[in-house]
A and B are shown apart, each in its own frame.
Chain A
Amino acid sequence: MLDTLLMLLVFQTLGEGLVYLAGLPVPGPVIGMLLLLAFLVYRKGYADRLAPSASQLLAHMALLFVPAGVGISVHFHRIADEWVAILVSVLVSTLVSIVVTALVIRGLSRMRKEGKS
């Protein structure tokens, strides 16, 4: 657990540092994730050492969303003012996203299979 947490913090720190120095418009932890992925590919087998405690952390990811979610209390009036726009937009675009993603993947995999046969 300690080693995993240390690794995650070290890579997050590297990510944040890189974002700051290079002026990247990307969250530091995302760069940290890419750096860690590259490290895991480079050091084969290291992932197996991190996986058990990392999966414990990932299993309770939902908990980490709660503090930001409670922030809804600050936005009650904004949501009350714009709830039609927010709700319609979220519902429609969620459907659009599922449909487009599924159809693109199915279309392209079929094309590839037909190209092979």
Chain B
Amino acid sequence: MMPHLDTLWVYMARSPLLWLTATLLAYRISLFIYERSGRSGLANPVAISVTLLVLLLLITDTPYAVYFDGAQFVHFLLGPVTVALAIPLYYQLAKLRRNWFALLAGALLGGVASIASSISIAWMLGASPLTLLSLAPKSVTMPIALGVTEKMGGLPTLTAVMVMLTGVFGAGVAHYVFKVLRVEDDVTSGFALGATAHGVGTARAFQLSPEMGAFSGLAMGLCGILTALLLPLALKLFGVI
């Protein structure tokens, strides 16, 4: 009846269509789990999608390069989405003007402290230079972090892992940190959350209050720009790249 059934998999597994579909399907499943968990920080959609797809690649013995042939169409959209960050940023410009000095200083010092501590700790614990380069932009929103890492000669896929870890952990613990520090206003807590845990933190902030979300989004954009502009320059200055 169906003489080609045995070769169907061989045919499909090589086509970009299958892996593009699998990527969207995995994301859809992860969104479902995320919603069912009551939007818990532990049920991060990216982490779940990646786990599902990695398992699928392992089971079917598919190389990452074959997978990426299909998934690249999704990956490509990171560029346009980075450009699109200008739009929410535009709506926050008035608030930014009022608090610009404190926020800019917070973003700069927080970013420097984050990058310096991550690189020095990993270096002391014996991480390789490539890992150090890939760690540096981990507090920045994924599209910018990947662009920066590619530009500096780090490993984008490794950076993606670091960015996700940072986002999920930061969004999870921020609430407790603010309690300990007695930070109660939405502007400060939202900004610190976005500056550290980028998009994942911003999604979390929007659940707590709209103002917190807006400032988290602002921090995400601002830190992204600052890191993209200053990190490669700083590393060049120190002769790392």
Contact = CB atoms under 8 A, between A and B. Distances in A.
Interface of A: 4-5, 8-9, 11-12, 15, 25-30, 32-34, 36-37, 40-41, 47, 50-51, 54-55, 57-58, 60-75, 78-79, 82, 84-106, 108-109, 112
Contact of A63 (B27, B68, B88, B192): B27
Q: At the interface, is chain B mostly helix, strand, loop or mixed?
A: helix
B27 A62 contact: yes
A40 B86 contact: yes
Nearest to A44: B90
Interface string B121-154: 1100111100100010011001110111011100
A107 to B, nearest CB: 8
Contacts, number: 325
Contacts of B67: 67, 70
A61 to B, nearest CB: 6
B188 A62 contact: no
Interface string B5-27: 00000000000000000011011
Given A28-B147, A97-B139, A64 B74 contact: yes
Contact of A102 (B79, B90, B101, B106): B106
10 contacts: A28-B147, A47-B87, A57-B80, A57-B81, A62-B45, A66-B74, A68-B78, A94-B173, A96-B114, A109-B188
Interface in B49-83: 49-50, 53-54, 57-58, 64, 67-68, 71-72, 74-75, 77-83
A29 to B, nearest CB: 4
Interface residues of B, number: 111
B208 interface: no
B125 A88 contact: yes
Interface string B160-188: 11111110011001100110010100011
A73 B54 contact: yes
B162 A86 contact: yes
Q: At the interface, is chain A mostly helix, strand, loop or mixed?
A: helix
B102 A108 contact: yes
B83 A85 contact: no
Nearest to A31: B228
Q: Which of A11, A55, A78, A89 counts the most chain B CB atoms within 10 A? A: A89
Contact of B160 (A65, A84, A101, A112): A65
A111 to B, nearest CB: 8
Contacts of B91: 47, 51
